[in-house]
């Protein structure tokens, strides 16, 4: 991999994983919870969920590597979903019928545009994604297959195309579970965006870390302002002013409509979807 290539924040940092999600989930702030109840048009629910970078659950070793800036993270094939097949289960008691249909719609979108296949889990021993919605505090996911058997992906119930139930947000969380971090975590992001630290809420600065070539790869796909994995411009703002400003004055960031062409390309390159049109 060319070290000067655009380094999209992808693939889970590979390490020995931590405990179950209940022990890794961070409490959300009262301010975030209030905003989640009455989201503004520009608000993204996943940015207000109180986890690392808003919606990422870190294993213990990932937290140690990322937050202490150790450089022993590495890209590891073993933490991808084997055979490009992802077992999953939706906890139907947590959602209305139309919400379950929207989750399935996001899954089918991923299947149509990549070579990944999602299927109901078959047995008690395989790794799988369990989609839950038992907490009002936003949406979150682990990154990649963390090999703990069951790993939870949370979507707080909401009206369709609002909150965690924007189709793009559902896809966003599943792309985390596939193995991708956020777009603006790319090591060369400073060539494409300016981070306005004076506008960032105190205590959330770690959400704007960059990852190194030892940790993530872009698969030689250019930085993508239009990625469904990109933060919005006022993410973690303390005053409503921009925290991320594109250097391209015509660029827009933070869309949650669906995957961009480059999102699709990166997933297909990660999972070696040879012959799949992107």
Q: Could you list the active site residues?
A: 173
Give a yes or no: residue 193 inside a domain. no
Q: What is the CATH number of the domain that holds 132?
A: 3.40.390.10
DSSP string, the chain: --TTS---S-SPPPS---S-HHHHPPPPPHHHHHHHHT--TT--GGGGSSBBTBTBPPPHHHHHHHHTT-S-----GGGSPGGGEEEEEE-GGGS-HHHHHHHHHHHHHHHHHSS-EEEE--SSSS-EEEEE---SS-EEE-SS--SSSEEEEEE---STTSGGGSHHHHHHHHHHHHT---GGG-TTGGGTEEE-GGGBPTT-GGGG----TTT---TTPPP-TT-TTSPPTTTTBSSSS-SEEESSTT------SS--HHHHHHHHHHTT-TT---
Give a yes or no: residue 242 inside a domain. no
Give a yes or no: residue 109 inside a domain. yes
Give a yes or no: residue 118 inside a domain. yes
Domain of 114 in residue numbering reads as 21-188+213-223+261-270
What is the count of structural domains for the chain?
A: 1
Q: Determine the pLDDT at residue 137.
A: 82
Give a yes or no: residue 28 inside a domain. yes
Give a yes or no: residue 136 inside a domain. yes
Give a yes or no: residue 246 inside a domain. no
Tens-binned pLDDT, residue by residue, of the chain (278 aa): 333 332 333 333 222 233 344 557 777 877 877 888 888 777 888 877 777 887 788 777 666 666 554 432 235 566 789 999 999 999 999 999 999 999 999 999 999 999 999 999 998 889 999 999 998 889 999 989 988 899 999 999 999 999 999 999 999 999 999 988 899 988 889 999 999 999 999 988 888 988 776 566 777 888 999 999 999 999 999 999 999 999 999 999 999 999 999 999 999 988 988 665 44
């Amino acid at each position: 991999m060319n070290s000067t290539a655009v380094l999209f924040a992808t693939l889970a940092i590979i390490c020995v994983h931590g405990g179950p999600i209940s022990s890794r989930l961070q409490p959300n702030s009262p301010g975030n919870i209030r905003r989640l109840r009455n989201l503004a048009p520009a608000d993204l629910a996943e940015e207000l969920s109180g986890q690392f970078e808003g919606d990422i659950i870190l294993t213990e070793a990932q937290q140690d590597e990322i937050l202490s800036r150790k450089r022993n993270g590495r890209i590891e094939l073993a933490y991808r979903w084997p055979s490009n097949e992802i077992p999953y289960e939706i906890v139907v008691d947590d959602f209305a019928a139309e919400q379950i249909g929207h989750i399935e719609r996001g899954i089918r979108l991923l299947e149509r545009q990549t070579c990944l296949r999602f299927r109901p889990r078959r047995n008690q021993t395989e790794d799988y994604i369990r989609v839950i919605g038992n907490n009002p505090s936003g949406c979150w996911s682990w990154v990649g297959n963390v090999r703990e058997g069951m790993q939870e992906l949370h979507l707080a119930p909401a009206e369709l195309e609002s909150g965690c139930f924007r189709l793009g947000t559902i896809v966003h969380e599943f792309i985390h579970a596939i193995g991708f971090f956020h777009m603006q975590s790319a090591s060369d992001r400073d060539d494409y965006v300016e981070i306005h630290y004076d506008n960032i809420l105190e205590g959330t600065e770690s959400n704007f870390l960059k990852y190194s070539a030892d940790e993530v790869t872009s698969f030689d796909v250019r930085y993508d302002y239009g990625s469904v994995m990109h933060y919005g411009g006022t993410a973690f703002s303390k005053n409503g002013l921009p925290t991320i400003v594109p250097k391209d004055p015509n660029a827009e960031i933070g869309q949650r409509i669906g995957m961009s062409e480059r999102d699709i390309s990166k997933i297909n390159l990660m999972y070696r979807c040879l012959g799949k049109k992107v």
